[in-house]
Structures are given as structure tokens and as C-alpha cells.
Amino acid sequence: MSPDFDPSGSARSAAALNEQIRALWMRAGGSLSAQERSEYELLVVRWAEAIRGEIIEAA
């Protein structure tokens, strides 16, 4: 698991989560291991939640 990975579920901005997703792909060289795939999936879910939260806040 990467040092930037936060399994605690703390709220982060969509931009910060997007940056973590990009960094994960860069470190992985475009091919994710099973562990990296799990991390990626969790980050994408959290990113989607953050986007929804930001849209609701803006409204």
C-alpha cells in the first residue's frame, strides 16, 4: 500500500483524490497489481463521493 493511501476514510477534496489516482497510475507504470487495483477502486469511489459533495455544496 502506498504511503499516500489513507484507509481511514477521511474526507478529501475531489482534486486531491484525483491527484492520488494519477500518482498511483504513474507509480504502477500503467499496470496495476491486485493490491494497487483495490487501492484504485477505493480512491475512485471516494473521488465520486467527493464530486457529489462538491456539487451539492455548490447548489
Residue 16 has pLDDT above 50, yes or no: yes
Answer for the pair 40, 21: CB distance below 8 angstroms, yes or no: yes
Predicted TM-score (pTM) of the model is 0.74
Domain range annotation of the chain? 31-59
Q: How far is CA 12 from CA 32, 34, 46, in A?
A: 23, 24, 8
What band does 57 get if pLDDT is binned at 50, 70 and 90?
A: confident
Helix (H, G, I), strand (E, B) or coil at 20: helix
Q: What is the pLDDT of residues 27-54, one digit of tens each?
A: 999 899 999 999 999 999 999 999 998 8
